[in-house]
Chain A
Amino acid sequence: MHHRSRSGSFLDPRTFLLLLLIANVITFSQISLWIEMGWIVFVDSMILLSGKYKMAVKWILLFCILLLLQYIVLPASPEIIATIFVILVNYSIRMFPCLLIGSFMMREISLRQFVLAMRKLHFSEKLIISLSVTIRYFPAIKEEIYHTKDAMSLRKIKSSKKLEAMLVPLMMSAAATAEELSAAAVTRGIENPIKKTSLLTLKLNFNDYACCVIGCLFLVGTFILK
């Protein structure tokens, strides 16, 4: 999830969540590859419409490569290689509908919008706070590891101790950050029981309704074909 807070994403986070659920149904029902391909064409055109051309091309290419692997390359390749890849390729194709919509959402929705959507969908406030701290801490972990690596390469650390030398400072700083961040949070009223508001507005627009309708058509199609 990126950092932008601008409203006006192509789709509402709630629409994304619905599409994600539908993608899961498609993945599990496995009626035919055609439904799956139809779904991928649909989502990819949405990505195109939202103006992310590079992303759209990248994902459609990836899907073609996977299909190529599954139907042409793997059956013709030696058994050892095939065993390694066939499950991965197969699973990736299965997951593709979810993966595609998931990555689209990651690119399109900011943490803020997602939090607001979760509030509107009446997720527990506890989950919302924890989850947003989790996501906010990812870049911090990257920074921590980067600094610790620096320090380790200037000092002689036995290779048997390297993992420990990496993990322990990370945990120490996590514990310290938890303490400091909490102090900052409570002094900014995070424990206030009042209903929290948001600077952003979430509103369903034409795109959302259209996507919901198309998504439901896929769902109906899946059940009819069953």
Chain B
Amino acid sequence: MSQISNSSSLKGKDLITIGIFSSIYFVINFIFMLLGGLHPIMWILMPGFIALFTGLPFMLMCSKVPKMGAILLMGVITGLIYFITGMFTVVILITFVIACVLGEVARFISGYYSVKGNIVAFIFFSLGMTGSPLPIWIMHEKFMAQISGQGMPDSYIKSLERLSSPVMLLILFFAPIIGAVLGAWISKRLFHKHFEKAGMVTNAS
């Protein structure tokens, strides 16, 4: 008699695996979030940096839980923690949900075991973090009005304009894409070097 517990819904073990890797993902994410406070540019590039360094927990989670809903849960958990601690606005929860649904679609189409599919999913997933600096643009008008009302010099306001320009918005969205591709590449190498040999992941190709 053989038993293969590969039913499509998430079971206790899957949920716990997702929970643990989300924990690691969040800690790495949080470290870069703090670094983002150093300089506005860092903040805008932050989603990219996070993608670069979180490929490993994300890809491991994907290979451990080849089921629908895994990414969505990871994203919602991250967004929810940031939201309930009051560190970010509700925008981050919304961007994460959108990003993760797209990621889920990518995995669904690629059949959950494909490395390429998981990389695409990771790119989408990483875009979820853009919800953190996004309020700069959403609240742009009021923000600028307030700054000029403070009596800052013109040159200064110009450089701030540049920071919150549409070009920067593009950078905000491109950084995580590049970061995610690199991050996935790094994690693929580490998979090969460690995790496959250790018997931790079996289905990576």
Contact = CB atoms under 8 A, between A and B. Distances in A.
A and B in contact, CB less than 8 Å = yes
Interface of A: 17, 20-21, 23-24, 27-28, 30, 70-71, 74-75, 79, 82-84, 86-88, 90-91, 94-95, 97-103, 105-106, 126-127, 129-138, 140-141, 164, 167-168, 170-172, 174-175, 177-179, 181-182, 185-186, 190-191
Interface stretch (B98-106, B121-129, B144-152, B169-177): B144-152
Given A28-B139, A83-B163, A84-B39, 20 more contacts: A24-B89, A79-B156, A87-B163, A90-B143, A90-B147, A91-B136, A95-B87, A95-B88, A99-B85, A103-B85, A106-B85, A130-B18, A131-B81, A137-B19, A137-B20, A175-B60, A178-B13, A182-B12, A182-B16, A182-B17
27 contacts: A20-B83, A21-B90, A28-B139, A70-B150, A83-B156, A83-B163, A84-B38, A86-B152, A87-B43, A94-B139, A98-B86, A100-B86, A105-B84, A106-B85, A126-B10, A130-B16, A134-B20, A134-B23, A134-B26, A135-B81, A141-B23, A164-B190, A168-B194, A171-B56, A178-B20, A178-B64, A185-B16
Contacts, number: 175
A138 to B, nearest CB: 6
B152 to A, nearest CB: 6
B137 to A, nearest CB: 12
A86 B160 contact: yes
Contacts of A134: 19-20, 22-23, 26, 77, 81
Given A94-B139, A103-B85, A164-B190, A129 B90 contact: no
A86 B77 contact: no
Nearest to B63: A175
Interface of B: 10-13, 15-24, 26-27, 37-40, 43, 56-57, 60, 64, 69, 73, 76-77, 80-81, 83-90, 135-136, 138-139, 142-143, 146-147, 150-153, 155-156, 159-160, 163, 190, 194-195, 198, 200
Nearest to B93: A24
A214 to B, nearest CB: 18
A140 B200 CA distance: 20
Contacts of B156: 79, 82-83
A185 B20 CA distance: 14
